[in-house]
Structure 1
Amino acid sequence: MDPLQFLVPLGWLSAVGPALPFAIFVMAVANLATRHVAHSRHVEQASVGDSVEPYGPHAFTNFGLVTLSFLFAIHQPTGGAILSILAVTLVLADLFEFESRNVEARNDMPIEAPKSAIVTSALILLYAGYYAFFFLVADVWNQAILA
């Protein structure tokens, strides 16, 4: 018996749980794409004014990654906890990177790419890809372990 079954109805999660790694992978790809667009907009905004504005679709993909990773932590605790830590780290890195873009814009400095957030996004993409597409290498992996 699951201790949370009376507090939180989680039956629906067992139905969508196997699809969560694919959803996280798609959201990670979308996050990298919106990160690129957001950086381009920040460079453009900094050349015109002295501040940058947050990019809405990028904030949505950040929120989506955190939400999906928390759901995945309920479905598969170990992998979900690792993904959740990476997703929360990504949000924190984005907050600090956004503030540093504002400082660069105010001081007429060149706008740098959000390097730490890019690395964290890439780690999320790799880890989500591992969970989503493990079935492609499962036979080879199992043979290597058994040999």
Structure 2
Amino acid sequence: MITPALLGPIDVLAEEVASGVTIIEFLLLALVAVNLVVRAFAHRSYVRAARRDGADGISRSLFLEVTNVLIVLGGFYYTTIHLHGGVVFTTLAIGLLVTDFFEFEARLVEARNELPLERPKGALVASALVFVYIAYQSLFFLVAPVWDSIV
């Protein structure tokens, strides 16, 4: 197993928070939560821009794109700490990135056809999956005693 001291400079700065849980998991959890909030604000700005200027007024949210890329890069880093969890998280994060790209294009199509903009349902589901998985990875120590007694 790869130790955090070998490839994990963030986790070297702080000792392991709990048994098997590292700082990067909590950072990713916070980043995914921020991404969900930014996603809501971005959708509101898309709706306002579509009402005001039509499809030409809608542009990608820079902050949403930055958080998406940081989540994927964080997933690559997490892979160096915990191989299995990192690969699963990174796969979900790349799925979120691709889904978000196509959801934005769907909003542009709706704006061009002068339809009301729907919520980005696919991106919301992908975000929820990413959030639930990293919450499971980072907060499992809270339910570990109960889980161990059952299993």
Give the TM-score normalised by structure 2: 0.86
Identical pairs, percent = 35
Pairs within 5 Å for 1:66-145: 66-145=72-151
Q: Over aligned residue pairs, what C-alpha RMSD do you find?
A: 1.8
Which residue of structure 2 aligns with residue 39 of structure 1?
43
Partners of 1:13 and 1:135 in 2: how far apart? Answer: 20
Following TM superposition, by how much is the alpha carbon of 1:11 offset from its aligned partner in structure 2, in angstroms?
Answer: 5.5
Would you say 1:12 and 2:9 are equivalent positions? Answer: yes
C-alpha distance in 2 between matches for 1:65 and 1:112: 25
2:19 maps to none
Q: Residue type of the partner of 2:50?
A: A
Shift in alpha-carbon separation, 1:89–1:143, aligned structure 2, 3 A:
same
2:27 is aligned with 1:29: no
Tell me the secondary structure at the aligned position of residue 114 of structure 2: coil
Deviations 1:40-74 (A, max 9, x none): 00000100112211111111110111011111111
For residues 11 and 132 of structure 1, the distance between their equivalents in structure 2, rounded to whole angstroms, comes to 16
SS of corresponding position for 1:104: helix
Runs of 4 or more above 4 Å deviation? none
How far apart are the structure 2 equivalents of 1:14 and 1:47?
A: 46
Which deviates the most, 12-21 or 49-58?
12-21
Give, in whole Å, the separation in 2 of the partners of 1:141 and 1:106.
Answer: 51
Deviation at 1:12, TM superposition (A): 2.3
Q: How many residue pairs end up in the alignment?
A: 139
